[in-house]
C-alpha cells in the first residue's frame, strides 16, 4: 500500500504482487491512508484508489474466509463494509482506477467509489459469492442496489454473473472504460475535474443524494448479517 501525491490529488495504490486481496492489514492500511488525507498536514481535494496492472482486487483474503474462524470472518466482512460506507460517504471525491480484475469484495470496493474508471481487456468484474456458496452480507446488497443497473441487479447478485469491462459499465460497476495504459491518467483527470467543483456544494449535495443509502448501509454493517 502506498500513498503519494499528484498535486492536490491523493493517490492510493494497492499492490501486493498477487491478487490484491482485502486482508485485515490491507483494509487497515486503506483506512490509515484515508485518515492521513483527511487529517494530515497535506490536504487533498480528491482521492484516486488504484490497483496494480491486471488486478484491482480479488476480494476478501481467502486465508481468512476459509479459516473456519467465524469471529475473524465476521470481523473482516464488517470492516470491508465499513470501508465501503466510508468511501461512498466521503466528502472528498473518490475515484477508482480499476486496473484489472475486480471480484467479490473487490467489486464492492469499486462500487463504493464515486467515479469508476476501468481498463478494457480480458478482465472480469462481478460478485461471485453465490457461485462459491456464500450469501452476500446485507451491506453488499445495499450498495449493489444503490449503484448497479436495475436490469442487472438480480443477475449481478443472485446469479453471480461475471462481466467484461464493457458489460460492467452497462451494469453499473464502472462509469467509463478506457485502454489499460490510460486508466490511471484518466482517473487522475476525473479526480481533478471533481476537485475543481466547489467542495462544500459537492459534499452537501452528495450527502443529500447518498444520505438515505448511507443510513441503510451503516445499519446493515452494524447488523453483522
SS3 state of residue 60: strand
> Alpha-carbon Rg of the chain, whole angstroms?
16
Residue 188 lies in a domain: no
Residue 71 lies in a domain: yes
pLDDT value of position 43: 72
The chain-wide mean pLDDT, for the chain, equals 96
Q: What are the start-end ranges of the H helices in the chain?
A: 24-39, 62-65, 70-88, 105-112, 138-147, 153-157, 165-171, 183-195, 199-223
In a domain, residue 123? The reply is: yes
| Calpha distance 96→114 (Å, rounded) | 8
CA distances (Å), origin 210, targets 23, 99, 112, 194: 27, 26, 11, 17
pTM over 0.85: yes
Strand partners, 120: none
148, part of any domain: yes
Indicate whether 136 belongs to any domain.
yes
3-state SS class at 217: helix
What is the pLDDT at residue 78?
Answer: 97
Q: Which of 88, 84, 72 is nearest to 139 (CA)?
A: 84
**Residue located via cell numbers 459537492:** 202
Residue 126 near residue 160 (C-beta atoms within 8 A): yes
Whether residue 69 is contained in a domain is answered as yes
Which tens digits make up the pLDDT trace of 120-136? 999 999 999 999 999 99
Residue 193 forms part of a structural domain: no
On whether residue 192 sits in a domain, the answer given is no
* Domain count of the fold of the chain: 1
Please identify every stretch of the chain with a pLDDT value under 50, giving residue numbers as ranges. none
Q: Which domain holds residue 32?
A: 2-180+198-223
Distance CA 188, CA 96 (A): 9
Give CA–CA dist 39/147, Å, rounded. Answer: 28
CATH number, domain with residue 34? 3.90.226.10
Which pLDDT score is estimated for 41? 64
Amino acid at each position: 500500500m502506498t500513498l503519494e501525491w499528484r498535486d492536490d490529488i491523493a493517490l492510493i495504490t494497492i499492490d501486493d504482487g498477487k491478487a490484491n486481496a482485502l486482508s485485515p492489514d490491507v483494509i487497515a492500511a486503506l483506512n490509515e491512508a484515508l485518515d492521513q488525507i483527511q487529517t494530515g498536514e497535506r490536504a487533498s481535494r480528491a482521492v484516486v484508489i488504484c490497483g496494480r496492472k491486471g488486478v484491482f482486487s480479488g476480494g476478501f483474503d481467502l486465508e481468512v474466509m476459509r479459516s473456519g474462524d467465524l469471529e475473524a470472518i465476521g470481523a473482516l466482512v464488517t470492516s470491508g463494509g465499513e470501508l465501503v460506507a466510508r468511501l461512498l460517504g466521503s466528502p472528498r471525491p473518490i475515484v477508482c482506477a480499476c486496473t484489472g480484475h475486480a471480484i467479490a469484495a473487490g467489486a464492492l470496493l469499486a462500487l463504493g467509489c464515486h467515479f469508476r474508471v476501468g481498463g478494457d481487456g480480458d478482465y472480469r468484474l462481478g460478485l461471485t459469492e453465490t457461485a462459491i456458496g456464500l450469501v452476500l452480507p446485507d451491506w453488499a446488497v445495499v450498495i449493489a442496489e444503490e449503484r448497479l443497473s436495475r436490469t442487472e441487479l438480480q443477475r449481478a447478485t443472485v446469479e453471480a454473473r461475471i462481466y467484461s469491462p464493457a458489460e460492467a459499465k452497462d451494469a453499473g460497476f464502472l462509469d467509463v472504460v478506457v485502454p489499460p495504459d490510460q486508466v490511471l491518467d484518466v482517473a487522475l483527470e476525473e479526480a481533478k475535474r471533481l476537485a475543481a467543483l466547489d467542495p462544500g456544494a459537492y459534499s452537501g449535495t452528495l450527502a443529500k443524494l447518498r444520505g438515505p443509502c448511507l443510513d441503510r448501509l451503516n445499519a446493515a454493517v452494524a447488523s453483522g448479517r
